[in-house]
Structures are given as structure tokens and as C-alpha cells.
Amino acid sequence: MKTLITEMFGIQHPIIQGGMHYVGFAELAAAVSNAGGLGIITGLTQRTPEALAAEIARCRTMTDKPFGVNLTFLPTVSSPDYPGYIKAIIDGGVKAVETAGNNPQKWLPALHEAGVKVIHKCTSVRHALKAEAIGCDAVSVDGFECGGHPGEDDIPNFILLPRAAESLKIPFVASGGMADGRSLVAALALGAEGINMGTRFIATQEAPVHEKVKQAIVDASELDTRLVMRPLRNTERVLRNAAVDRLLEKERTLGANLKFEDIIDEVAGVYPRIMQNGDMEAGAWSCGMVAGLIHDIPTVKELIDRIMAEAEGIIYRRLAGMGHS
């Protein structure tokens, strides 16, 4: 399948793996790229720019296909060494960067000069237009369904994607709730040039996370996610567990007085404990509503081949068969 996104990133299928903290290591990124999609290493999971450079080099030993790096610009006080990470990306010869969080404008000239294409992930048409205006090459439009940070507008993809299509000139992919060939065809119909998936890629053989994490996603239904940290305007969609129930109880009792320090036990340092140790009650971890559509743990190649075959079946048989002969 050829779309503006496959052309932009030099990939076979219009499927991107979104950056995921403590999931997006070289193993997953390489598996996605080898299967014809765009795999993404999560920059900030690597503690230093040197560690990111080593992870990029490790990924190169596993694939000769294009892959990208996610850089999440957090609203933190002690800022990570972003210039160092950008240098590691450029020196590592990476040609695709997924930015997320705060405005990436400051970093675009250096990335573009090095021939890197930048796809910015955003949760509103307003932010997508801003990304276009500052010179991003593409955007990833992340609907309310998504795992991770859906923003504060709560617009699901059935509205958000066609609104993006009405407003944007640069290409975009649909993110949030994408799982299979049906998602891909629907996304294309709504104006996207491909899809970005997070949660679906965790439940794959190659995702380098504890088996219990994969099984939790398979076991979960679409009813099992919760929104946390809304009172802090840092909303995150997570899988419900005992820690999340505790956190929500604190949000209810403290109301407008809630501070980050009140919930630090449920959110800080949680990812390595969940993803690597399988300590499933350690705290709140991102998961999309799409868990309800995830019923197995295939290899990445099986998943991507299945998505493409299903999408082609829908387009060329089901939909084509509905036309007049």
C-alpha cells in the first residue's frame, strides 16, 4: 500500500509503532521495521544521550530498514538533555523522529538540516495546525481512545480525524484505538495516510516486556481503562488496577487541592517495575481502550501481515462489492 506516509518514511506499510516508555526498545522497533512498518525507539527510556546512541546502534544490528526515535518533551522542572538526545539521533543516522508533548519548534532546524522527517503527535486540531505552521512534516492525531496522554479535549477519532482532514495540509496518521485492518481502512476513509499503534504492539511476541503485561492487555476489555491525573491537567489513560483505584480515590477526596506529591507512589518510577518485573499492581501504566480488541499475542510480522490482508479484503472485496456493477 502506497500513501504519503509510506513515501515520506520509505516504508512498505502505513503502520507506525508509537513511542512507549519502557516498551520501545530496539527489539520492538526492529521487529516493526523488519515487518515493513516504522518502528520507534523511545528516546527518554534511555537515561542518557550516550545510552540512546547505543540503543540506536543496537537497533541497526537488528534491521537494515528505516526506524525512528520518539522524543517526548515533558513539562518537567529538571529538563532532560534534549540537545544531547537530538545529537545522538542525528549522529546515529536516524531519519524519522516522533515528537510528543511540548512544541518541538526549537529542534526542527537541526533535525531538518540532517534530513530527518518529524512527525509530531498531538491530540487536537489546534495543536496539529500549530505543528504544521512550525514546519513539522506530518502529524500523528491521537484521539480520546488512546493509551497514554489524550489531552483535555476528549474528542474521539470519529470526529477528530475528519476534523484534522478538513484543516491540515500536511499528511497525518490516525492514532488511538487502532488494532486491525478495520481500523486501518476506517482511518484511511477518514482522511489519514496510515495508522499509529501503541497498546496493540505491546501484546506481541517481540515486545520486550514481562509476559504478565501482554496477558493483562489480552484479558482487559474496552471497559477496563481509567483516566487519571485529570485534576492536574496531565490526563493519562491507564489500565485499571488496585493502584489506579487508590489514585482515583485520592483525586476524589482531595479535589482541587490535589498535588503531584499526593499521588507520587502510584505514578513515579512505575514503568520499569511493571514492564520489566511484571509487578502488575505497582502503579498506573498507560493502556488504550483498544485492549478490548486485542485477543492474542502474535509476532509483529503476523500482526502487520494480518492487518494488511484484512484491510485489502475490506477494500477490494467488502467495499468494492457494495458498488454498482
CB 278 within 8 A of CB 271: no
CB 121 within 8 A of CB 196: yes
Identify the residue among 146, 174, 203, 216 touching ligand FMN (CB under 6 A): 146
The Cα diameter of the chain in Å comes to 65
Gap between the Cα atoms of 184 and 173, Å rounded: 10
Binding status of residue 127 toward ligand FMN by CB under 6 A: no
Region 21-60 residues binding ligand FMN, contact defined as CB under 6 A? 21, 23, 42
SS3 breakdown of the chain: % helix, strand, coil, rounded to 5?
50, 15, 35
End-to-end CA distance of the chain: 25
Smaller CB separation from ligand FMN, 46 or 72: 72
Least separation in angstroms between residue 147's CB and ligand FMN is 3
Region 284-303 residues binding ligand FMN, contact defined as CB under 6 A? 285-288, 290
Region 91-110 residues binding ligand FMN, contact defined as CB under 6 A? 100
Torsional sign, CA 296, 298, 304, 310: negative
User: Which residues are CB-neighbours of 205 under 8 A, at least 6 positions away?
Assistant: 297, 298, 299, 300
- CA 143 to chain CA centroid, Å, is 11
Identify the residue among 6, 72, 204, 235 touching ligand FMN (CB under 6 A): 72
Span near ligand FMN by CB under 6 A; candidates 25-33, 89-97, 173-181, 313-321:
173-181
From the number of C-beta atoms within 10 Å of its C-beta (0-12, 13-18, 19+), residue 302 rates as middle
Span near ligand FMN by CB under 6 A; candidates 20-28, 51-59, 89-97, 302-310:
20-28
Report which residue's Cβ sits closest to ligand FMN: 198
Identify the residue among 5, 20, 30, 161 touching ligand FMN (CB under 6 A): 20
Least separation in angstroms between residue 35's CB and ligand FMN is 17
Interaction site with ligand FMN (CB under 6 A): 18-21, 23, 42, 70, 72, 100, 121, 142, 145-148, 175-178, 196-200, 285-288, 290
